[in-house]
Amino acid sequence: MEIKAYAKINLGLDIVGKREDGYHDLRTIMQQIELYDEIKLYAEAESGGNTDKGQILIGCDDTMVPTNEKNLAYKAARSLFDEFEITDAILIDIKKHIPVSAGLAGGSTDAAAVLCGVNEYFGLGLSEEELIERGAKIGADVPFCIVGGTAYAGGIGEALQPLGDLTDYHVLVAVPDTRVSTKWAYGRYDEIADEGGIRHPDIDQLMAAIEMEDFGCVPDFLGNVLEYATIPDYPVISKVKNTMMSSGAAGALMSGSGPSVYGLFMDEEKAVKACNALEMFELVPKERIFLTAFHNRS
Ligand code: ATP
């Protein structure tokens, strides 16, 4: 079985509270893009039969990604194998295209794809809602990655509301060659938030623009409070945003906790101009720049 696991960007990300358990309450609007990891599931017989009962083996072409029980795709498969007492062995082969630790939910989307894949492969009969429940235990972005398309997420990411399809834009994603720890970014945000001066994005207006198909307004409402945390330590993010805007982007924003930046362009030529400028100024290596599009559910 072959599955595409799509990356996401955050069109809006606001932090509205901190829970006793240390998690942050978010209000975010996420959007899948046409950048995906390729995942193949092979059952025991196809993998050559050299496996133990119930064994889950992970293969991955990216050495930055763990292939042990720390891999989120492993955790996803393990949770269903344990719950449904699956005794077959399975090999999960992951071809990474989504940069790691970039704010694009690379690990979460692999986990979501494996939950859905194992459910189908072994005929477990779980509904989307039941998959979301299990996904939320693996990671905050996993429920969204199961639902896909465009969606609002509240709480720690589990309260999902799918939104209408977003169209009209070319999406340029540029991932500076550095990694940002999500945990670090949230910790830094807490320190900065205590000092005040945070401008919060208007998530309701953004949601209304999408629901009313007023796509021309969407760039006006893009906003991510985690920029306050990450950008001071990673100034390249500002430079990438500025380069996109001066090349003609309608809007540009950091995704998640960074360092990925995306620009929304009405005009493909301008997006190509931005690609060239990012390369020319050596802000982002060519292989970490993706001229892509929104990925919709329908
Ligand atoms: P998010 O946007 O959800 O915060 P991210 O895009 O910033 O996530 P990931 O690419 O998901 O970050 O990687 C975060 C960590 O998860 C890395 O340390 C990586 O080693 C680990 N990881 C575990 N499983 C995977 C996987 N299947 N793909 C990528 N990273 C994984």
**Torsion angles phi and psi, residue 272, rounded to 5:** -65, -40
pLDDT over 70 for what percent of the chain? Answer: 97
State whether 224 and 273 are in the same domain.
Answer: yes
Confidence of residue 156 (pLDDT cuts 50, 70, 90): confident
**213: alpha, beta or left, given left = phi > 0 and alpha = psi -120 to 50?**
left
8 is catalytic: yes
Q: How far is Cα 33 from Cα 8, in angstroms, rounded to an integer?
A: 6
Tell whether the model's pLDDT for residue 139 goes beyond 80: yes
User: 6 lies in a domain?
Assistant: yes
User: 38 lies in a domain?
Assistant: yes
User: 265 lies in a domain?
Assistant: yes
Q: Which residues have C-beta within 8 Å of that of residue 17, sequence separation ≥ 6? A: 24, 25
Q: Are strands 150-155 and 261-265 parallel, antiparallel or unpaired?
A: unpaired
Mean pLDDT in residue range 280-290? 96
Smallest CA separation from ligand 1 atom 26, residue: 107
Mean pLDDT in residue range 19-23? 85
State whether 29 and 151 are in the same domain.
Answer: yes
User: 298 lies in a domain?
Assistant: no
Of 14, 37, 110, 141, catalytic: 141
Q: What angle in degrees, to the nearest 10, is found between the helix axes of 236-246 and 268-280?
A: 140
Mean pLDDT in residue range 107-122? 97
pLDDT given for residue 196 in this prediction: 82
Which H/E stretch holds residue 228?
Answer: helix 227-230
State whether 9 and 92 are in the same domain.
Answer: yes
Helix (H, G, I), strand (E, B) or coil at 94: strand
State whether 36 and 176 are in the same domain.
Answer: no
DSSP codes joined into one string, 71-91: SHHHHHHHHHHHHTT--S-EE
pLDDT given for residue 53 in this prediction: 73
State whether 137 and 61 are in the same domain.
Answer: yes
Nearest atom (ligand 1) to Cα of 96? 28
Whether the link from the prior residue into 259 is cis, omega within 30° of 0, is yes
User: 61 lies in a domain?
Assistant: yes
Smallest CA separation from ligand 1 atom 24, residue: 71
User: 150 lies in a domain?
Assistant: yes
State whether 11 and 131 are in the same domain.
Answer: yes
Q: Which of 162, 184, 214 is the last residue of a domain?
A: 162
**The CATH number of the domain where 230 resides is what?**
3.30.70.890
pLDDT given for residue 115 in this prediction: 98
pLDDT given for residue 48 in this prediction: 54
Smallest CA separation from ligand 1 atom 9, residue: 101
The owner of tokens 């834009």 is 169
State whether 141 and 14 are in the same domain.
Answer: yes
Q: How far is Cα 244 from Cα 253, in angstroms, rounded to an integer?
A: 10
Q: How far is the CA of 96 from the centre of ligand 1 (A)?
A: 11
State whether 134 and 217 are in the same domain.
Answer: no
- For the Cβ of 141 lying below 6 angstroms from any atom of ligand 1, the answer is yes
- For the Cβ of 108 lying below 6 angstroms from any atom of ligand 1, the answer is yes
Q: How far is Cα 224 from Cα 106, in angstroms, rounded to an integer?
A: 19
pLDDT over 90 for what percent of the chain? Answer: 87
State whether 188 and 279 are in the same domain.
Answer: yes
State whether 233 and 268 are in the same domain.
Answer: yes
Average pLDDT over all residues of the chain: 94
Q: How far is Cα 230 from Cα 189, in angstroms, rounded to an integer?
A: 8
pLDDT given for residue 19 in this prediction: 87
Mean pLDDT in residue range 155-169? 89
Tell me the pLDDT tens digit for each residue of 206-215: 999 999 999 9
Q: How far is Cα 243 from Cα 131, in angstroms, rounded to an integer?
A: 40
Tell me the pLDDT tens digit for each residue of 38-96: 999 998 765 455 666 789 999 999 999 999 999 999 999 999 999 999 988 999 999 99
Domain that holds residue 279: 170-293
Q: Which of 96, 131, 162 is the last residue of a domain?
A: 162
Q: How far is the CA of 99 from the centre of ligand 1 (A)?
A: 9
**The CATH number of the domain where 138 resides is what?**
3.30.230.10
pLDDT given for residue 181 in this prediction: 93
What tokens were used for 65? 């990604």
Q: Which of 113, 137, 162 is the last residue of a domain?
A: 162
Mean pLDDT in residue range 242-259? 97
- For the Cβ of 102 lying below 6 angstroms from any atom of ligand 1, the answer is yes
State whether 56 and 9 are in the same domain.
Answer: yes
State whether 216 and 235 are in the same domain.
Answer: yes
Q: In the chain, where do the E strands start and end?
A: 2-18, 24-43, 56-60, 90-95, 150-155, 159-162, 170-174, 223-224, 251-254, 261-265, 289-292
User: 178 lies in a domain?
Assistant: yes
How many domains is the chain built from? 2
- For the Cβ of 100 lying below 6 angstroms from any atom of ligand 1, the answer is yes
3-state helix, strand, coil in the chain (%, to 5): 35, 25, 40
Confidence of residue 159 (pLDDT cuts 50, 70, 90): confident
pTM metric for this prediction: 0.94
Q: Residues 32, 243: contact at Cβ < 8 Å? A: no
